[in-house]
Amino acid sequence: MSGLVSSLRKFFLHMPETFQKSTNLRSLSALAQSSCQFQYDLMKQDNCIVVDNYDNALSVATKEECHFKEGLLHRAFSLFIFRQVPNSEDLELLMQRRSPSKLTFPLLWTNTCCSHPCTNYVGETEERNAVGVRRAAQRKVEHELGIDSSRQLLLENIHFLTRIKYSAHNEPVENDWCEREVDYLLVSIVPAYVKTDSSTFLKINSNEVAESEWTKEHSINTAFSNDPYIYTPWFRKVVRMGLLHRMFNWAAAKVTNNVAFPSLDKIFDRSSILEFD
Show the domains of the chain with their CATH numbers: 29-275 (3.90.79.10)
Give yes or no: 36 in active site: no
| 14: pLDDT strictly greater than 60 | no
Whether 15 has a pLDDT exceeding 50, the answer reads no
Is residue 142 flagged as an active site residue?
no
CB 114 within 8 A of CB 74: no
**Catalytic residue selected from 114, 124, 144, 208:** 114
| pLDDT for residue 49 is more than 70 | yes
What digits encode the pLDDT tens for the residues 143-189? 999 999 998 999 999 999 999 999 999 999 788 999 999 999 999 99
Radius of gyration of the chain (CA): 18
Residue 54's CB is within 10 A of a number of other CB atoms, namely 9
* Confidence band, pLDDT 50/70/90 cuts, at residue 197: confident
**Section 209-233 average pLDDT:** 97
Measured between alpha carbons, how far is 210 from 97 in angstroms, rounded to an integer?
5
Q: Is the pLDDT of residue 121 over 80?
A: yes
Instruction: Give residue 257's pLDDT.
Output: 87
At residue 276 the predicted structure's pLDDT band, cuts being 50, 70 and 90, is confident
User: Is residue 265 packed enough to be buried (19+ CB in 10 Å), middle (13-18) or exposed (0-12)?
Assistant: middle
Alpha-carbon torsion angle 241, 245, 247, 249, nearest 10: -140
The pLDDT value recorded for residue 87 is: 76
Q: How far is residue 166's CA from residue 173's CA, in Å, rounded to a whole number?
A: 19
Would you say residue 52 has pLDDT above 70? yes
3-state secondary structure of 187: strand
Beta carbons within 8 Å of 264's beta carbon, 6+ residues apart: 246, 249, 250, 253, 258
- pTM of the complete model: 0.87
Which one from 179, 181, 208, 217 is the annotated catalytic residue? 181
- DSSP codes of every residue in 137-170: HHHHHHHHH---TTTTS-GGG-EEEEEEEEEEE-
